[in-house]
Amino acid sequence: MTGSPVGAGRAEVDAALVLLARLGVRPEDLVGAGGGRAVVPTFAEYVPVVAAAVGAGTRRVYGSYWNRVVEQWGARRLDEPSPSEIARLAETLRARRVVRANARGGQSTSEHLIAALRCVYRHAVADGLIGEGDNPARKVPKPRRAPSTRGAVGAERLAEINQVAATTGDDPALDTLLLRLHTETACRRGGALALRPCDLDATQCLVLLREKGEISRWQPVSPTLMRHLLRHAEERGAPRTGQLLRYRSGRPITTRRYDYLWKRIGQHLPWVAAQGVSTHWLRHTTLTWVERTYGYAVAHAYAGHTDRRGGGETGATITYVRASHEEVAAALVGLVAESHPLAPLPGVAPGPSPGETNAGNSC
C-alpha cells in the first residue's frame, strides 16, 4: 500500500527550479495557473480600454499609432508579439511615414510606436493581464533621438513674421494675438488652446497655463497682452470656463489655425517654409533670450519645466535656485520693455493693471 505523499525535499525543489529555468518558466508563472487565470485580450479589445483611461494629450500623441497596431495585430492577443516583431513593426511604420521637409529620418515614428505600445503594456501589467517580465515593449530600445533642427529666431526675422501675420489672412487680430501670446509666455500650442477667461489674473497680469504632463503654472504676461486677451474673450463671446481663443464667429480655434497661419507666413517668407518654422520656434526664441540674459534658473521656470526627470547636478541645483514669479516677471519686462505689477521698470511706477477695469476674471 502506498503511503501518503510527503513534501518535496531540498534536492527535489532545486531540480524543479533547474527544469523550470530551462523551460523559461518562472515559479510565479505557475501561481494561479488553470481555470482562474485571466484571459489575455486582443489588441482590438484592449486598446480602446487604454485609450479611455489616458488623458486627452496622451490620446492625441499615441492615437494614430494605436490605430496602426490594431490594423496590423487587432486579432492577436497582447502576449503574442515578440520584441523582434515590435521592432519590425516600428521599422515598417518608419518606412511608410509621410516624409516632410523637416523630416529627420523617421526616428520619431519608431520612438512613438514603441512608446505607444509601452503604454498599452503598462496598463496590461497593472490590470493583471500579463506579468511584468512578459512585457515585450520594454525589451525594445527606443531609437536615439536626432538633434532638433528648431532654434531661436533673430529679432529681424521675428519682426518679419509678425508683419506678415498682421497684414495678411482673414483674421490678423487673432493671428497677432497668437504670436504675441506664444512669444511672451513661451507656451506650447496645447497651453494656448487650453486657456480660459477664468485663467486670467488681470490684477497681477498672470495667466494659468495647463500644458503636457497635466502640469499647470502661473505665467506673467504684459499688461498689453492681458488687455488684448480680455478684449478678445469679451468680443468673441468666450464663456468664463470655456476656451478663450476663438474665431470671429465665436467658434473655438484648433491646431488647424496654427497650420494655416504658418503656411500663409511661409508663402510670404520663403525662409519660413524652407526651414519649417513653427510655433515651437517662438518657444526656442524666448527661452534662449531669457537664459542668455537672466540665467538658467529663470529660463527653467519660464519654460514651465519640472525636475521629475531630473538626476545629476542640474536637477539637484535647480531645487535650490528655483526662480520666483517676480523673477520670471522681471525677465518678461526685459523682453517686452513694459512695466509689470510684479516687476516694475526701474524708475517707472507701475500703471493701473488691466484688472482694475476688468474685474471678475478669477476662477
Q: What percent of the chain has pLDDT over 70?
A: 79
Grouping H, G, I as helix, E, B as strand and the rest as coil, residue 237 is coil
Task: Encode pLDDT of 203-212 as tens digits.
Answer: 999 999 998 7
Residue 167 lies in a domain: yes
CA quadruple 298, 301, 307, 313: dihedral, nearest 10: 0
* CA gap 33, 30 in Å, rounded: 5
Residue 150 lies in a domain: no
What's the mean per-residue pLDDT of the chain? 84
Residue 17 lies in a domain: no
CATH code of the domain covering residue 78: 1.10.150
Residues 159 and 269 in one domain: yes
CATH code of the domain covering residue 301: 1.10.443.10
Type of residue at 179: L
Residues 346 and 299 in one domain: yes
Confidence of residue 85 (pLDDT cuts 50, 70, 90): very high
Beta-strand ranges (E) seen in the chain are 200-201, 206-211, 215-220
What are the helix and strand counts (H, E) for the chain? 16, 3
Q: What percent of the chain has pLDDT over 90?
A: 51
Residues 124 and 163 in one domain: no
Task: Encode pLDDT of 158-200 as tens digits.
Answer: 999 999 999 999 999 999 999 999 999 999 999 999 999 999 9
User: CA–CA distance from 100 to each of 68, 79, 172 (Å)?
Assistant: 20, 35, 27
Residue 81 lies in a domain: yes
164 is in which domain, residue-wise? 155-307+314-356
Residues 196 and 49 in one domain: no
Residues 176 and 266 in one domain: yes
Amino acid 303: pLDDT? 87
Residues 301 and 241 in one domain: yes
Q: Whose CA is closest to 129, among 218, 53, 39, 210?
A: 39
Residues 303 and 162 in one domain: yes
Position 353 pLDDT exceeds 60: no
Task: Encode pLDDT of 21-35 as tens digits.
Answer: 776 666 666 655 555
Amino acid 313: pLDDT? 45
Residues 272 and 337 in one domain: yes
Residues 185 and 124 in one domain: no
What's the whole-model pTM score? 0.67
Residue 15 lies in a domain: no
Residues 161 and 212 in one domain: yes
Higher pLDDT, 354 or 282: 282
Residue 90 lies in a domain: yes
Lowest-confidence pick of 172-176, 229-233, 356-360: 356-360
Query: How many CB atoms within 10 Å of residue 196?
Result: 20
* CA gap 300, 310 in Å, rounded: 12
Confidence of residue 311 (pLDDT cuts 50, 70, 90): very low
Residue 26 lies in a domain: no
Residues 216 and 254 in one domain: yes
* CA gap 342, 344 in Å, rounded: 6
Residues 111 and 184 in one domain: no
Provide the domain count of the chain.
2
Residue 176 lies in a domain: yes
